[in-house]
Amino acid sequence: MKKIIHTEKAPKALGPYSQAVEANGTLYISGQVPIDPASNRVVEGGIKEQTTQALKNIGAILEEAGYSYSDVVKSTCLLSDMANFSAMNEVYASFYTKDFPARAAFAVKDLPLGVLIEIETIAVK
């Protein structure tokens, strides 16, 4: 059985998808971009600020579903430019400090709204 997860503490979906879906003790979080849910705008600043906001959005969804960052088993980071990898990684390491999830990072041609990063996440209880 699947359960749709939604919180006002993360941005609304930009299309026909859910913020997250939980099925059989696994939480699948859709790619989160650096939109501040309070203003519904992309946060100002560079890759560090954008990575921070994307990870905060993930945290809000995790919390709504009863999970935490320690339950995350896989992240996929989509970057607009691999030159931003090191700075993204620095911020990422401040959210995941031990028992790190598996991760992939890719440079892509374009991201929604011209953002620098999008992160999708899988968590397991």
- The number of residues making up the chain comes to 125
pLDDT tens digits, one per residue of 13-52? 878 999 999 999 999 999 999 999 999 999 999 999 999 9
Q: Which domains does the chain have, with CATH numbers?
A: 2-124 (3.30.1330.40)
pLDDT tens digits, one per residue of 48-102? 999 999 999 999 999 999 999 999 999 999 999 999 999 999 999 999 999 999 9
Q: Name 97's Cβ contacts closer than 8 Å, sequence gap at least 6.
A: none
Q: Name 32's Cβ contacts closer than 8 Å, sequence gap at least 6.
A: 10, 11, 54, 55, 57, 58, 61, 118, 119, 120, 121
Q: What's this model's pTM, rounded to 2 decimal places?
A: 0.96
